[in-house]
Structure 1
Amino acid sequence: MRRASAWLAALSLGLAALCLTPATPAAADETVDRGASLYVPDANPDAYRQVRDLLRAGQFRDAAGIVAMVNTPQAVWYGDQSPAEVERLARGVVRDAAREGAVPVFALYNVPGRDCSNYSGGGASNTAEYKAWIDAVARGVRGHGAMVILEPDSLALLPADCGQDDAQGTLTTARYAEVDYAVDQLEPLRGVRVYLDTGHPGWHSVNSIVPRLLRGGVARATGFYTNTSNYHTDDATSWYGKLISSCLAYVDGGGAAADCPNQWWPRTDAQSWIDANVHVPPSRMKHFVTDSSRNGRGTWTPPPGKYTDPQDWCNPPDRGLGARPTLRTGDPLQDARLWIKIPGESDGLCLRGTAGPEDPERGMVDPKAGDWFREQALELVRLADPPILGGR
């Protein structure tokens, strides 16, 4: 697969020389103090096919935009592989990244009851199977640095949240144990940093997500992540991260999460509270990363009253790529801005409360979750903010 990346890189250079001003260098050129860069994985094979079709159609700028998008550092997702397969694949990625002096980002997505069995449903069958899978990931990455985005929606969307648990909360208790186990197996590995799920700033309040993070083992993890696969702005997600980190420090000192400011407080009031109640240096606080892959235009506002369930998270129209990934955020609490969600891959079959089968906002049947979505990929490239390509 690395041959495909080489082909795309060569194509990108050729297109730029023919008709384009080169893009601003991506964050792969930005380093942290250890000299690391972020890893660029091979793209979805359908991205390569789209580039070829665009070239045949004479749409050179669009082709170059897709090339630039998939040549930007982004996460490697695992979730449906067997333990033997995920161990082999993860080992191959960390070795490849090490040769390039890069840090890979893994999004692990295999927890039982994943996505409440909705569009991205699946995952391990039970806790024992999940633990064996995590053990295999640990064997694969051992000895190499990596950032681990642990189980998107695992804490923000518990089995109890979607009516899939019993009266005793058996599945929710198991969910916490599964996340906790993954933290204990992965975080102690040298060079591995594990981040836990918070959803996004339009979902849980700081006061409700902090107890979930604590029960999921954040005390033993590097920290947490926010906005995965969503569209909230960098400003909103970074502020949400600061509030969560501050609340975790406050609770660690004996305070109650219910007393913390949340994302809907006036910022001046929230900052005053932090100044008065949190006296822990950033080096001792929990750090966070954010997802900027598709947030260049912010969130989508559905037409008022048009849909019974607008699904504003699901392939919203007219979104753009966000700021490029970087390990240099300028914020001592924010370890990185990442592209966690793979831009160009569909969120699923979005019906927005209608009978379907078409997405009423797009007039077409959306690809299933994880499949390449050509129309959306072009939107993301054309509406990227900042632009993915230089020039006009």
Structure 2
Amino acid sequence: MTHHATTTLGRFATGAALLLIAVAGARAQKTLPADTRFLTPAPPSGAVQQVESLLGQWQLKNALLIAAMETVPQAVWLTNGTPSEVSATVRSTLKQASWERTMPVFVLYNIPGRDCGSYSAGGAENTADYEAWIDAIAGAIGSQKAVIILEPDALADLPSDCGYNPSQVNITQATADRFTQINFAVTTLENGSQTSVYLDGGNSHWQAVPIMAQRLAQAGVQQAQGFFTNVSNFNLNNYESKYDTWVSECIAFANNPADGGWRLGNYSYCASQYYSPLGAVDPDNIATWVYTDEWFQQNLGTAVPTIHFVIDTSRNGQGTLNASVYASAPYNQPASVVTTLTNGNWCNPPARGLGTHPTANTGVALLDAYLWVKTPGQSDGTCDAAGGARAWNYSDYTAPGWPTDAAAQAVFDPLWGLDDPIAGAWFPQQALDLAKRANPPLLP
């Protein structure tokens, strides 16, 4: 794209860009009134079994904690199934929501090649199958009220980010297909008059603001309600809200011709959580983010951010895991281990807590809602050395009962002292830990 929109085509693109932003802003206004009540689905079987087990052990308070956790509104995940099967699930969920006069939140997690083939690998076989699956969901929702969390990690973790072997995967084609799939889903689902679609925005400690803004724009966020962040992650609300605001501002910056046609499409100019030309920015220290705030204040001009967002607060009550504690006694782990643990701190980190309860009354103009998107108590995966989320020097620290042979250590999680359940399975130790450390507390 040229720096100056002087041609007829440029003027058309400029008008189209402004129209898209106007549409996005209008759509964002139709969604999630401040008094919205979100659906509380039936508890997972693992939670029911854990409550029964705790009662059987006379652990009454712990049983109450898990039960209280399951009274909080949460999302319903749609991860597989034939079009007819997923349609049936959606219809039954909508019926429950209608009886209770609540808003259901659906997480669509079936994109081809999801999770880069890691712990949550799977998804539809191809684009045609995925589009048929999306059609079925859209048809089941119709004109009823629903929030759609569309494909967590699908944009923050494109096929081009997965490290695939190019001799085995056509990375360019797979990445292009990903945008085709998301665009189709946005267009199809947004046809529902009361369907609010949010796209994947990663989280504040992942892709830089310019990268995420560009990917969201390419994926069709200006035709959706907005984007979501922090799904299945642990970043504090203030970090996410600030990051999300910058992403929205960056989209506005790069789609506003009034202050110079050279800005159109140039998301890369935006400051971020990693860099600002006005001062050193540390992604782990929000006090330094003032320099990125200042950059947007100086450069937005007449651009007005209109893209809204929602934040997953299901497990961020205590923020992210600080893996540096494992460098100290009694663990005494080397720097290389601490680095791996830090990079894997998204995967079943211990000593976290449930976060802000779902609400659409956020007090932040662009923040439509805090939601419990990730089902608290469900495992992120085996979170082991074999999968790359853990490392451990057992000669520096071990405990009674820990494995002593390399094969067993490869699938062991030293942070929990056990073999974690597979992705999506109930993790009772983590569930109770999240409930005990909830912020705000679950029980008086």
- TM-score by shorter chain over 0.5: yes
TM-aligned CA distance change 1:35 to 1:361, over 3 Å: closer
Task: Give me the whole-angstrom Cα distance separating, in 1, the residues matched to 2:304 and 2:176.
Answer: 33
Which secondary structure does the structure 2 equivalent of 1:176 belong to?
A: helix
For 1:62, the equivalent position in structure 2 comes to 62
Which one of 319, 322, 340 corresponds to residue 352 of structure 2? 319
State yes or no: 1:389 paired with 2:432: no
Task: Give me the whole-angstrom Cα distance separating, in 2, the residues matched to 1:53 and 1:286.
Answer: 45
For 1:76, the equivalent position in structure 2 comes to 76
Cα shift readout 1:244-282 (whole Å, capped 9, x = no counterpart): 011111111142212212124433333333333334556
Structure with higher Rg: it is 2
1:188 deviates by 2.2
State yes or no: 1:299 paired with 2:309: no
Which one of 330, 342, 351 corresponds to residue 363 of structure 2? 330
TM-score normalised per structure 1: 0.88
For 1:262, the equivalent position in structure 2 comes to 272
Which secondary structure does the structure 2 equivalent of 1:195 belong to?
A: strand
For 1:126, the equivalent position in structure 2 comes to 126
Task: Give me the whole-angstrom Cα distance separating, in 1, the residues matched to 2:126 and 2:49.
Answer: 37
Which one of 339, 343, 346 corresponds to residue 379 of structure 2? 346
Task: Give me the whole-angstrom Cα distance separating, in 1, the residues matched to 2:369 and 2:349.
Answer: 25
Question: Structure 2: which amino acid aligns with 1:129?
Answer: D
For 2:403, the equivalent position in structure 1 comes to none
Task: Give me the whole-angstrom Cα distance separating, in 1, the residues matched to 2:249 and 2:304.
Answer: 10
Q: Larger deviation: 33-42 or 141-150?
A: 33-42
Cα shift readout 1:34-93 (whole Å, capped 9, x = no counterpart): 853111111111100111111111111111111111110111000112110111110111
Cα shift readout 1:79-124 (whole Å, capped 9, x = no counterpart): 1121101111101111221221111111100000010111000000
Q: How does 1:1-392 map to 2 (within 5 A)?
A: 33=33, 35-164=35-164, 166=169, 169-254=172-257, 255=263, 256-264=266-274, 265=281, 266-278=288-300, 279-281=302-304, 285-302=306-323, 303-304=326-327, 305=335, 306=337, 309-310=340-341, 311-351=344-384, 352-353=390-391, 355-390=409-444
Which secondary structure does the structure 1 equivalent of 2:65 belong to?
A: helix
Q: Larger deviation: 81-90 or 308-317?
A: 308-317
1:168 deviates by 6.1
Question: Structure 1: which amino acid aligns with 2:85?
Answer: E
TM-aligned CA distance change 1:233 to 1:168, over 3 Å: closer
Which secondary structure does the structure 2 equivalent of 1:102 belong to?
A: coil
- Over the matched positions of the two proteins, sequence identity in percent amounts to 42
TM-aligned CA distance change 1:122 to 1:219, over 3 Å: same
Q: Larger deviation: 138-147 or 257-266?
A: 257-266
TM-score normalised per structure 2: 0.78
CA contact (8 A) 2:213 2:247 kept: yes
TM-aligned CA distance change 1:268 to 1:97, over 3 Å: same
Task: Give me the whole-angstrom Cα distance separating, in 2, the residues matched to 1:251 and 1:138.
Answer: 31
Q: Larger deviation: 91-100 or 137-146?
A: 91-100
Task: State how many pairs are aligned.
Answer: 358
CA RMSD, aligned part only?
A: 1.7
1:358 deviates by 1.5
Which secondary structure does the structure 2 equivalent of 1:252 belong to?
A: coil
**Unmatched 5+ stretches in structure 1:** 1-30
Q: Larger deviation: 330-339 or 31-40?
A: 31-40
Which secondary structure does the structure 2 equivalent of 1:224 belong to?
A: strand
Which secondary structure does the structure 1 equivalent of 2:271 belong to?
A: coil
CA contact (8 A) 2:227 2:309 kept: yes
